[in-house]
Structure 1
Amino acid sequence: MGKRVLVSDDAAFMRMMIKDILTKNGYEVVGEAANGKEAVSLYSELKPDLVLMDITMPEMDGIQALKKIRESNPDASIIMCSAMGQQAMVIEAIQSGAKDFIVKPFQADRVLESIQKVLG
């Protein structure tokens, strides 16, 4: 069975792009969240193997959502996505428990490489 992934990004086209890369490579996208709040509630509901999460989102940003998810599940596998030039946020994300990060705009092979590294 393919690994179950939750995709969280406020841009619908980014979610669609990521979903496309994942489904073509045998992963199952079990949910999509448009903001950090949705990501946190969908995470507890769906229990995915992995979360791909944007850092900059409305209502609750990716870093706050990352911390919330890891409060309830310290072993959560979360990969952060961010645009260029957000190094400070990337560092904060890694310190808060993100397993890896992908810089936007991303290449499909970089996304898959990151997922394989995190899920083993």
Structure 2
Amino acid sequence: MNTGTTETFPNTRRTILIAEDEDSNYLLLYTILSKFCNLKRAKTGKEAITLFEEGGIDLILMDIKMPEMTGIEALVEIRKTDKTIPIVMQSAYAFDVDMEYARNAGASDFITKPINQKVLKSTISNYCPDIEWQVK
């Protein structure tokens, strides 16, 4: 029997972890995504692993080149415990060898910088189709 307590409903917005060390690149992603998703930021690969381990992440956007630990190294570590979370690698240095290594390490997808807003949203929608890209 409910005695007057109010029910709370979980936040239904998806949470995206953005692993990006460059402030300007993060700001662009924040500007595009913050109206539609909850965002968490990691500036290093190690920080990305820590935030992922805290839980509640639906998708990871992972820069390849970061300090302390590269995005690919962080990808390998995350894949040891979670084979299914979508991890989209991003890089301005889109060498075929990097993309191949990222795919072999378990990357879900790959986008290049500079970020194209349409490509970014389309890629995210492949893994989180319930995100509505229209502001209500």
Q: Fold match, TM over 0.5?
A: yes
**What residue in structure 2 maps to residue 102 of structure 1?**
111
**Superposition deviation, residue 114 in structure 1:** 0.5
**Superposition deviation, residue 85 in structure 1:** 3.9
TM-score of the superposition, structure 2-length normalised? 0.82
Query: Structure 1 stretch 12-21 or stretch 53-62: which is displaced more?
Result: 12-21
**What residue in structure 2 maps to residue 66 of structure 1?**
75
Structure with greater proportional strand content: 1
**What residue in structure 1 maps to residue 16 of structure 2?**
5
Give yes or no for the alignment of 1:118 onto 2:121: no
Aligned residues: 118
Structure 1 gap segments, 5+ residues each: none
Matching residue within 28, 42, 52 for 1:17: 28
TM-score of the superposition, structure 1-length normalised? 0.92
**What residue in structure 2 maps to residue 57 of structure 1?**
66
Bigger Rg over Cα = 2
Give yes or no for the alignment of 1:42 onto 2:51: yes
2:92·2:114 contact (CA, 8 Å) conserved in 1? yes
Give the Cα–Cα distance (whole angstroms) in 2 for the partners of residues 119 and 89 of structure 1: 25
Structure 2 gap segments, 5+ residues each: 1-11, 130-136
**Superposition deviation, residue 38 in structure 1:** 0.4
> RMSD of the TM alignment (CA)?
1.2
**Superposition deviation, residue 42 in structure 1:** 0.6
* Cα offsets for 1:82-111 (capped at 9, x unmatched): 114422111111111111111000111110
